[in-house]
């Protein structure tokens, strides 16, 4: 009997999580499927817990050092402090040295352990505890960002039904399905993998991939992208792309970029830190050897050159300066992830704070991407025709069906009695009413090439046709503005002084109507992708918000590209810097506000960190402050900038 041991371990969220998914996620060990639920609580934020325990051990060691006869207990507690806070740092520093990398971590570890040699073990332990606490805070923020974004995997199907040679269906993980495999997609399901239809016909809603509101008919030979929702009939697909090419894989790639990408200022500090560490270590050695030659001091003792050099080494270490920037950006990335906003990195917030103009696409961005039935046009009996349409559409999952159902219910119409009802996947529905044949569906199928249908389409609206015998009715549908988009745009204009404009490929009349409803005075219609790109290329400090494939070039060229996670196409998501995962564009003003907060807090942190270095360095070298004071000034500044950066985790 063969057992798949991967299925024996429940995930931290209650479902089943494969081991390979856990290792790829980069999450902390506390959610590992190897652990039992009881063990996970102990492993969560282990670095932060270890730092807190070390702090308490050091506190008790300090207290017992003043109690007569308790020196041995004090030394034991101090030894435990070095073990908990110092051994991890020592191991990491040794690895760095073997890699020929002398960085800030090496500098701090060296200072802490050398302090023992001059009888300042408590000061060295304080340095290790505060340095450990600073690193633990950064790790905790980074883990929160990863944990919030890891929930993205729930957006796409994790399994597909593979068609066996005998026609039976076997569920299988999408990761195990190769190109060329035949899969079965039932009505109402999301298409798990890209494929070509080999059997069946249906309407597939591709609004989140193309931005188009009207589902498309898919028949044998047509391609169907992953993420499309199959609305009516069952489809058999031959898989053309594996799960690694799916929309989910691309979003996860964005997550990886958000974790690894660093702002320009942080990259500059990272490059500087190694050279700086070598310089400070070299100067500390020079001062330790040279100070007795210029001042009347010894090498050893609390006033000696070695003691002063160690104090200088600690005070001059730019830990707060190095930590100030990444913690701020990681906090902001984590906060945005909780709000359903994915960032490619902290540098995007810098760019967004500089943007003075925001250009927006219309369909699926300013509008909902969902259809609303505006009216029914017919020369027949209004109530009877609407009752028949309601009866035909009430059990369908097509967005047009939902719009007609809502329209009829709003009018207080009851469904008619329909017999011989059946669906024609990809085209429409039919049945009989009082002996007459009734059909509802595509205008091209039921009433092609009429002036009235053509006029409605030219206005940028969607039309469907109901035929009752020889009579017919036309239903008009329109995509309406998002509910809270107008207040959002007003805040961007009035509070932040931003210039707003709309770039759309729709006709002039449709664009003008939406612009007026949204309160936009500047808009450009009938634009092709190259037109949008040309316009964006002329502007500096411009953010572009879009969702369709035709927006992708402009999103890539803009200072900041912002796309929609649900209705947005794969190309748009790839090209953008920011993804509104839940299409919650009403948070755009909040995001602009957050970007300005990040810039402000980074400046504050850099000022605090630089001040801590300047205030402590020279007095430490001249012997004006003891080693413990240098530690407090240095690592105290590190903790302050960390706590200041954590303010960005707040929603406001």
The DSSP-derived string for 395-436 is: T--SHHHHHHHHHHHHTTPPPP--EEEEEETTTEEEEEETTE
% of residues, the chain, pLDDT over 90 = 19
Q: What is the pLDDT of residues 273-331, one digit of tens each?
A: 677 778 888 888 888 888 888 877 887 766 778 878 877 877 776 666 666 777 788 78
Question: If DSSP codes are grouped into helix, strand and coil, which group holds residue 265?
Answer: helix
User: HEC profile for 457-471?
Assistant: HHCCCEEEEEEECCE
pLDDT band at 253 (very low <50, low <70, confident <90, very high): low
Q: Is the pLDDT of residue 238 over 60?
A: yes
Domain ranges of the chain: 5-44, 157-245, 369-480
pTM metric for this prediction: 0.59
CATH class of 369-480: alpha beta
Q: What is the rounded distance in angstroms from the CA atom of residue 12 to the CA atom of residue 35? A: 10
Average pLDDT in the chain: 78
Q: What is the pLDDT of residues 33-75, one digit of tens each?
A: 556 666 665 656 677 788 888 888 988 988 888 888 888 898 8
Q: Is the pLDDT of residue 431 over 50?
A: yes
Instruction: Give pLDDT, residue 2.
Output: 38
Contact 645, 327 (CB under 8 A): yes
The one-character DSSP state at 213 is S
Contact 575, 557 (CB under 8 A): no
Contact 230, 202 (CB under 8 A): yes
Structure tokens at 93: 């520093």
Q: What is the pLDDT of residues 335-352, one digit of tens each?
A: 888 888 888 777 788 889
List of residues 6+ apart from 76 with CB closer than 8 A:
none
282 exposure class (CB count in 10 Å sphere: 0-12, 13-18, 19+): exposed
Strand partners, 169: 163
- Is 361 tagged catalytic? yes
Structure tokens at 371: 């259809």
Q: Do domains 157-245 and 369-480 have the same CATH topology?
A: no
Q: What is the pLDDT of residues 608-643, one digit of tens each?
A: 888 877 777 777 777 777 767 766 776 677 778 878
% of residues, the chain, pLDDT over 70 = 79
Cβ burial 571-610 (10 Å sphere, 16+ → b, else e): bbbbbbbbbbbebbbbbbbbbbbbbebbbebbebbbebbe
Tell me the chain's radius of gyration from C-alpha atoms: 32
Strand order in the sheet with 235-239: 169-173, 159-163, 182-185, 235-239, 195-199, 223-224
Q: Which helix (H) or strand (E) holds 508?
A: helix 508-518
Q: What is the rounded distance in angstroms from the CA atom of residue 195 to the CA atom of residue 233? A: 16
Q: What is the rounded distance in angstroms from the CA atom of residue 425 to the CA atom of residue 221? A: 15
Tell me how far the alpha carbon of residue 283 is from its chain's centroid: 44
Alpha-carbon separation of residue 258 from 366, 580, 638 (angstroms): 26, 14, 24
Instruction: Give pLDDT, residue 196.
Output: 92
Instruction: Give pLDDT, residue 499.
Output: 94
pLDDT top residue among 562 and 526: 562
Q: What is the rounded distance in angstroms from the CA atom of residue 257 to the CA atom of residue 573? A: 13
List of residues 6+ apart from 252 with CB closer than 8 A:
152, 153
Nearest to 230 by CA among 143, 157, 168: 157
Q: What is the pLDDT of residues 128-156, one digit of tens each?
A: 887 777 677 666 655 544 544 444 454 56
Q: What is the rounded distance in angstroms from the CA atom of residue 358 to the CA atom of residue 596? A: 16
Q: Is the pLDDT of residue 106 over 70?
A: yes
Residues present in the chain in total: 652
pLDDT top residue among 218 and 27: 218
Tell me which of 105, 194, 350, 361 is the catalytic residue. 361
- Crossing angle of helices 264-294 and 347-354, rounded to 10°: 110
**Residue whose tokens read 């953008």:** 576
Instruction: Give pLDDT, residue 127.
Output: 72
Architecture of the domain spanning 157-245: Distorted Sandwich (2.70)
């Amino acid at each position: 009997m063969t057992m798949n041991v991967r299925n024996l371990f429940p995930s931290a969220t209650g479902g089943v999580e494969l081991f390979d998914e856990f290792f790829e996620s980069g999450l902390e060990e506390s959610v590992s499927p190897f652990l039992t639920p009881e063990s996970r609580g102990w492993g969560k934020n282990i670095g932060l817990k270890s730092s807190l325990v070390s702090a308490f051990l050091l506190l008790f060691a300090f207290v017992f050092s003043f109690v007569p006869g308790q020196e041995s207990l004090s030394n034991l507690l101090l030894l435990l402090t070095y073990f908990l806070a110092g051994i991890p740092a020592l191991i990491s520093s040794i690895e760095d040295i073997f890699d020929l990398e002398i960085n800030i971590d090496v500098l701090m570890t060296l200072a802490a352990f050398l302090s023992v040699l001059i009888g300042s073990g408590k000061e060295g332990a304080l340095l290790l505890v505060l340095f450990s606490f600073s690193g633990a805070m950064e790790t905790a923020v980074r883990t929160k960002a990863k944990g919030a974004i890891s929930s993205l995997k729930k957006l796409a199907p994790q399994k597909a039904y593979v068609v066996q040679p005998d026609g039976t269906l076997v569920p299988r993980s999408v990761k195990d399905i190769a190109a060329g495999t035949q899969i079965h997609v039932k009505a109402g399901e999301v298409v798990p993998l890209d494929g070509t239809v080999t059997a069946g016909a249906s309407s597939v809603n591709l609004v989140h991939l193309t931005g188009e509101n009207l589902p498309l008919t898919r028949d044998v030979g047509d391609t169907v992208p992953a993420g499309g929702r199959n609305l009516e009939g069952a489809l058999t697909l031959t898989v053309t792309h594996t799960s690694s090419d799916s929309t989910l894989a691309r979003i996860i790639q964005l997550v990886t970029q958000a974790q690894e990408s660093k702002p320009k200022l942080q990259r500059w500090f990272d490059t500087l830190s190694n050279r700086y560490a070598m310089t400070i270590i070299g100067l500390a050695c020079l001062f330790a050897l040279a100070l007795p030659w210029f001042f009347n001091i010894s090498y050893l003792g609390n006033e000696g050159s070695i003691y002063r050099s160690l104090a200088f080494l600690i005070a001059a270490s730019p830990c707060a300066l190095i930590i100030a920037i990444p913690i701020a950006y990681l906090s902001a990335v984590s906060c945005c992830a909780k709000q359903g906003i994915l960032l490619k990195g902290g540098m995007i917030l810098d760019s967004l704070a500089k943007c003075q103009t925001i250009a927006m696409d219309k369909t699926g961005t300013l509008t909902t991407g969902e259809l609303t039935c505006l009216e029914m046009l017919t020369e027949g009996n209004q109530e009877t025709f609407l009752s028949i349409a309601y009866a035909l559409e009430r059990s369908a999952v097509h967005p047009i069906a939902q719009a007609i159902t809502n329209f009829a219910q709003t009018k207080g119409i009851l469904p008619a009695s329909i017999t011989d009802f059946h669906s024609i996947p990809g085209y429409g529905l039919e049945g009989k009413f009082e002996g007459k044949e009734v059909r509802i569906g595509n205008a091209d199928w039921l009433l092609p090439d009429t002036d009235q249908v053509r006029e409605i389409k030219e206005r940028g609206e969607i039309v469907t046709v109901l035929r009752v015998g020889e009579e017919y009715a036309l239903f008009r549908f329109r995509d309406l503005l998002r509910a809270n988009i107008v207040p959002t745009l007003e805040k961007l204009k009035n509070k932040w002084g931003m210039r707003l404009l709309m770039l759309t490929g729709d006709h002039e009349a449709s664009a003008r109507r939406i612009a007026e409803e949204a309160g936009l005075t500047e808009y450009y219609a009938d634009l092709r992708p190259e037109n949008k790109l040309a316009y964006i290329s002329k502007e500096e400090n411009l953010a572009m918000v879009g969702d369709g494939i035709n927006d992708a070039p402009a999103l890539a060229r803009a200072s900041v590209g912002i796309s929609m996670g649900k209705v947005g196409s794969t190309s748009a998501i790839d090209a953008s810097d920011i993804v509104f995962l839940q299409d919650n564009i009403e948070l755009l003003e909040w995001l602009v506000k957050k970007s300005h907060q990040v810039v402000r807090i980074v400046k504050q942190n850099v000022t605090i960190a630089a001040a801590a270095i300047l205030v402590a360095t020279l007095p430490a070298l001249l012997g004006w402050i003891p080693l413990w004071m240098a530690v407090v000034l240095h690592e105290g500044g590190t903790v302050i900038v960390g706590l200041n950066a954590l303010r960005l985790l707040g929603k406001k």
